[in-house]
Each structure stands twice: as structure tokens, then as C-alpha cells.
Amino acid sequence: MKFFNTHSVMIEEAKKAKLKHNPFLNLLISLVLILVSQFILVVPMAIIGFITVIKSNGLSMTIDNETLTLINLFGTGFLIILCILYCKFSEKRNLRSMGLIKKGAFKEYGIGLIVGLVMFSAVVLILMISGQLSFVKVTLSSLPLIIIFFIGFMIQGASEEFLCRGFLLTSIAAKNGIILGIILNSCLFGFLHIFNSGFSILPMINIILVGIFFSVYAYRTDNIIGVCAIHTMWNFAQGNIYGILVSGMNIGPSILKVNSFSNSLLSGGNFGAEGGLACTIVLIISTLLAVFIPKKSISTSPSESN
């Protein structure tokens, strides 16, 4: 298939790495990077946990769930830093090999935001047509906080893309081919969600499909800027636009309020829309479009080296 012979500058640059590992060692390194980033985040989280039990003059100081969620979102920035440091100083890779570009980056990000919004809106549309979802009200009272959540999702979405697509996909593809790179990094992406509320077989399949779509899109556009934006908007639209659970988690305030789902197989039940067949349909169609639409229709950004 022509898709698998697509020229990719980021993978060609990854082939120049001074240190190359087998695919499963790369998976292990990815897990270590995640654990280290989580360990770094433990310190501020521990301080916050300590504050919550402090009592002064009979008043209990508490940190609400929204604040804790935002700390977690912003804290994922540690993973971005670790990925860059590892690739640059351990494997001697440049930023282009991780899918980062300068020229056309803002355009790629803008297109990605639109793609992410359209994709998840398509999921919502299917649920509305099938009678699984209806809107209750619109509220803009929490708009400033919602904007902060968007910034948090920009960091969180980028962190997983730097790890799974910027590091793991390119590392494996450079040595073992794009097919294995897509499969393994997408499986790791699915594994990262196994402890989420409502997780089961269908949510696992859908999260892996999300990883496959992100991988295909990154490969076809030859950068990770676009998928960082898609990932950001995919999560933000779920939680803060439509008010739907994000991978089983209730994420802060939302612009729209919706009623509860009734058909868990179609709508995802306790995992949210990502765990339902409506999402499966959209992801399969999106991935096929990303594979078969001519490359120039997906991205026109140049493939310069950094």
C-alpha cells in the first residue's frame, strides 16, 4: 500500500540517532519516563494533600477536585521535558526526529484543533440522532475556568503525543518499520488508560483506535504538531464543551450540559463517549480518511529539519 511507503522526514531523522533500541526496550523506556514524570508530580501533590488536612482556627483548608485536576493536567508538562531530554541527550536525536517543526506549526495546530472538534462533534451527533444524548442548557458562567482547562489540555495532549508519537512511534519505525511503530505505540496508549473508571474491552479498543488514528495522522503530516492539537481538542470538547466524561473522568465545568446516557454499548456508559460504538465508528472512518486521502490534502507544511 502506498501509505506505508510515504516519505517521512521525522523518521529519517530518527534513523540518525546514535543510540537505537529494540521495540520492547523502547516500550520499557516509555514506561520509565512516565513513572519518573509521575514521581516528580508527587511532590506538589503531596504538599497539596498535606494542606487539605491542615486546620486553622477551626477552618478546614480544602482543595477542590477541579484544582486537583488542573494540577494533574499542567503537571504532565514534566513528561514533555523528560521526553525531549532523553531523546536529545541519550539518543542524540534532534527535535525534528520527534516530529517538531517551525515553519507551518501554527497552521498545523489550527487545523488539528478543527479536526479534533469535528471528530468528537461527529460522535455527539451520532448519539443525538440515536436518542442517546440531548442537551439541557448552555452556561458561560465558568468560561474563565474553562479557558484554563483548555490550556491544561494543551499541555496534557502534547505530553502523550511527545511520548507515544514523538518518541515511541518514530524510534520503533526508524528501526523496525512504520507498521510495528503504529501498533506498539497505540497499544501503550491504550494501556495508559486501564486504571480509568468504567474501563473495559470496548473502551480499550477505542483508545487503541485513537492511538492508531493519531499515529497515522502524524505519519501522513510528518509532524506531531497537528496531533497534539487534535488530542487537546478531543479531550477538551468532551469535558469542557459537551460536558461528557473524558475516559471515565469528570473534567471540570462545561459550556453545555447534557442528560445521562441510556445505551452504554453505543454511548460508552461510565467511561464516557470514548467507550461506545459511536466513537468506534468515527475513529474507523477518520483513520481510513487519513490513510487514503492524498497527503497534500492532509498537510501542506514543509518537511524542514531543525
Q: 235-264 pLDDT, tens per residue?
A: 999 999 999 999 988 888 999 988 877 778
Domain parsing of the chain, residue ranges: 9-297
Q: Is 79 helix (H, G, I), strand (E, B) or coil?
A: helix
Residue 302: the pLDDT is 41
Q: Are 305 and 149 a contacting pair, CB within 8 Å?
A: no
Q: b or e along 98-128 (b: 16 or more beta carbons within 10 Å of the residue's beta carbon)?
A: bbbbeebeeebbebbbebbbebbebbbebbe
Give, as one character, the DSSP assignment of residue 246. B
Pair type for strands 256-258 and 135-138: antiparallel
Residue 7: the pLDDT is 85
Residue 286: the pLDDT is 97
Residue 67: the pLDDT is 84
Residues ≥6 apart with Cβ < 8 Å to 11: 97, 170, 173, 174, 178, 219
Name residues of the chain where pLDDT drops below 50. Answer: 56-60, 297, 300-306
Q: State the alpha helices, DSSP H only, in 53-142.
A: 65-75, 77-85, 105-129
